[in-house]
Amino acid sequence: MIEAGNTGQVDLDTLLEPVDWEHLRRMAALTPGQRMLAMAEVSAFQRGLLRGAFRRRYPDLPIEEVNMLMFRYIEDLKAKGL
């Protein structure tokens, strides 16, 4: 973080997690198509987790409403730049 009197440089070591070199090596060994498939699978898994959280929180809502809540949540995150 930037502190008063600092040169304006940000200490990235305090902001970023350590690099997982083994994961990077595994990803680099994949073909571009395999990388795209891995991204799609992770994205589907994340959406499933989010949908499950909303289903537990609002068990009486139909799935269409749960999906709309999920999409609004994602749009709010995008608007915040997260």
pLDDT of residue 12: 73
Q: Which residues of the chain have pLDDT under 50?
A: 1-2
pLDDT of residue 36: 96
Please state, in angstroms and rounded to a whole number, the distance separating the CA atoms of residues 49 and 35: 21
pTM, two decimals, is 0.61
Q: For the chain, where are the alpha helices, taking DSSP H only?
A: 21-28, 32-57, 63-80
Rounded to 10 degrees, what is the CA torsion of 65, 74, 76, 82? 160
pLDDT of residue 69: 94
